[in-house]
Amino acid sequence: MPDAQTKIKQTIDDNDVVLFMKGTKGAPQCGFSSRVAGVLTFMGIDFADVNVLADEDIRQGIKDYSDWPTIPQLYVKGEFIGGCDIVTEMTLSGELDKLFDDKGVAYSKDAADKIRAANA
């Protein structure tokens, strides 16, 4: 059986967008995870969700992997992006759109604009 670091790396390598979160995208179990999953879902991003509550080794392992102490954690094309605050800031500033454009990740520009308009 592969160790947590191997499973984490494989998941990140196998998926363009991965959210390590508490709960699942369909049933988030914390507000921060819910916010990031909600933004990605609203923007039409196809993303893999990893429920860190289901596996203590993954829960601690992702913190070690990224050297980031909190969850959720977003990865795009293998790159660690950040947690809830960073993703929220990037969404509102348009930086997340640019990142998805640069990385070739499909998303709804209209939905991203609606998020910004609603938070203006």
Q: Which residues are annotated as a binding site for [2Fe-2S] cluster?
A: 30
- SS3 label, residue 88: helix
- SS3 label, residue 101: helix
- Edge to edge, the sheet with strand 79-82 lists 48-51, 17-21, 73-76, 79-82
Could you list the residues known to form a binding site, using ranges. 30
Nearest in space to 20 (alpha carbons), one of 63, 52, 66: 52
- What is the widest separation between alpha-carbon atoms in the chain? 48
Backbone dihedral angles phi then psi of residue 7, each to the nearest 5 degrees: -65, -45
